[in-house]
Amino acid sequence: MAGTRRAPERRRSFLIDLPEEILSEILLLLPPKYILRCGAVCKALCNVASDHAFLLAHHRRQPPRRLFSFVRDVGDYPDDLGLVDYCVEAVDLRIHDFRSIVRFTAGDYDCLEGNSPFAIHAACDGLLLMSFKRLLYLCNPTTRQWVSILRPALRHNTVMGLYAHGSSSEYRVLYCRHNHGKPLFFISTVGSEIERGIPLRSARAQGAKRATAAAMAESSRAAVRHAGLEIPEDLMADILARMPATSILRFRAACKCWHHRTKDPAFLLTHHLCQPAQPLFCSRLNVKDQDAFRMGHYCCLELEAVDLPPRMVVRFKGIESIQFNLLAVHGSCDGLLLLSNLDAHFVCNPATRQWARLPRLPPPHACRIAGFYAHAASGKYRGSLPTQRP
């Protein structure tokens, strides 16, 4: 309608006609300065350029910069004013260049005597939670904007983290303070000044140390719950796949959704494929359990993989030392090992150090395993037995 009323010579830019997703793809290629300028050009561009998802995507495309916080007088005030420009700089490792990230101007020099008046407490999505002389600020170095944050007050509280709350797209600060020796945890939403306590689960009749541990676990769970919402599922799996197996196992304890996610067979397979290949080398007698060994009850057998240094892969306890000669590896598939000792077959997962005894198989001396494979449709693993020739 508006188009027909307008004079015919009033042109329209082709940019306006582009679908929003193409427009945002184009704007993603621009340096931050020009994204800001686009905000002034027209409403449509401004809408795309100020969209939260777009800004986050743009931030992720920027090269990572290491933050260095130190005090430097970067201002050119006359000496008699007694003003100093303090600045936090980031170093760009690729071009060996320092970039000023945040600047503060203050009127005295006391900070030069030792403790820096700056502290960076947390960072999230390119935002920095930092303090200058115990006053807390949330800064956006890209747009050079900042807001003052009143809660938590640093005099009594310690900042634990800053995170984006997925469903409300608010930023929240997690912090703790000590009350009669016990830590209490709180969350406050940036800009709201309201704080919310996190109730502790098991602070009753336990030492202060135990309570701290529980509180930490509780708070990290809370943070994880929020953080987990923010990161897309596939990206999360991508990150987790690059972690060592022990970390994955620890993550399982952190929260329920991660527990399910890291137990997914598809994920475990991806993770295994990311691990370095470990050719199996030898089995040897381990003398770590010396007491038991001396008593003559059992010895430990270890299977080691060649990786420098050698790594323990599987450990068996046998009644008699002679058994270690009979430890045999029959096959491997997706990081699982099919093993046998004197009287049974086992499937072991060296990464998680779990194992399962295979039921309904003839004893190892009476049969020979031909192969071990994953059955695609059922997701189960199968061993194949050739017809036995005694």
Partner 1 sequence: MAAPESGDGNNGAARMVTLISSDNTRFEVEAAAASLSQTLQLTILDGGGGGGDGIPLPNVDSATLSKVLEYCIKHAPAAANGGAPNATAVDRAELERFDNEFVNIDQSVLYSLIMAAHNLEIEGLQSLVAKKVADMIKGKSPMEIRRTLGFPDPTPEEQAEMNAHMLEYGWAYE
| Interface residues toward partner 1, by CB under 8 A | 10-15, 17-19, 22, 25-27, 29-31, 33-34, 36-42, 143-144
For residue 49, the minimal CB distance to partner 1 (Å) is 11
Q: How many CB atoms lie within 10 A of CB 102?
A: 22
The residue among 144 and 263 lying less far from partner 1, judged by its C-beta, is: 144
d(CA 307, CA 68): 37
Q: How many CB atoms lie within 10 A of CB 218?
A: 16
The residue among 36 and 367 lying less far from partner 1, judged by its C-beta, is: 36
For residues 212 and 206, the answer to whether their CB atoms sit within 8 Å is: no
**Long-range residue pairs from 106-111, CB within 8 A, at least 24 positions apart, any chain:** 106/132, 106/133, 107/82, 107/83, 108/82, 108/84, 109/82, 109/84, 111/71, 111/84, 111/86
Helix axes 233-241, 256-263, angle to 10 degrees: 70
The residue among 39 and 310 lying less far from partner 1, judged by its C-beta, is: 39
Percentage helix, strand, coil, to 5, in the chain?
Answer: 30, 35, 35
Q: Count CA within 13 A, CB hemisphere, residue 59.
A: 16
For residue 39, the minimal CB distance to partner 1 (Å) is 5
DSSP 326-343: G-EEEEEETTEEEEE-SS
d(CA 269, CA 335): 8
Q: How many CB atoms lie within 10 A of CB 293?
A: 16
For residue 338, the minimal CB distance to partner 1 (Å) is 39
The residue among 18 and 83 lying less far from partner 1, judged by its C-beta, is: 18
For residue 85, the minimal CB distance to partner 1 (Å) is 15
For residue 376, the minimal CB distance to partner 1 (Å) is 24
Strands (E), 150-236: 158-165, 170-179, 182-189, 195-198
For residues 320 and 326, the answer to whether their CB atoms sit within 8 Å is: no
Residues 6+ apart with CB under 8 A from 259: 252, 253
For residue 68, the minimal CB distance to partner 1 (Å) is 21
For residue 316, the minimal CB distance to partner 1 (Å) is 48
For residue 94, the minimal CB distance to partner 1 (Å) is 20
For residues 27 and 54, the answer to whether their CB atoms sit within 8 Å is: yes
The residue among 7 and 308 lying less far from partner 1, judged by its C-beta, is: 7
The residue among 4 and 167 lying less far from partner 1, judged by its C-beta, is: 4
Q: Which of 137, 195, 186, 189 lies closest to 160 in space, CA to CA?
A: 186
* DSSP single-letter state for residue 360: S
The residue among 12 and 155 lying less far from partner 1, judged by its C-beta, is: 12
The residue among 26 and 306 lying less far from partner 1, judged by its C-beta, is: 26
The residue among 104 and 163 lying less far from partner 1, judged by its C-beta, is: 104
For residue 40, the minimal CB distance to partner 1 (Å) is 4
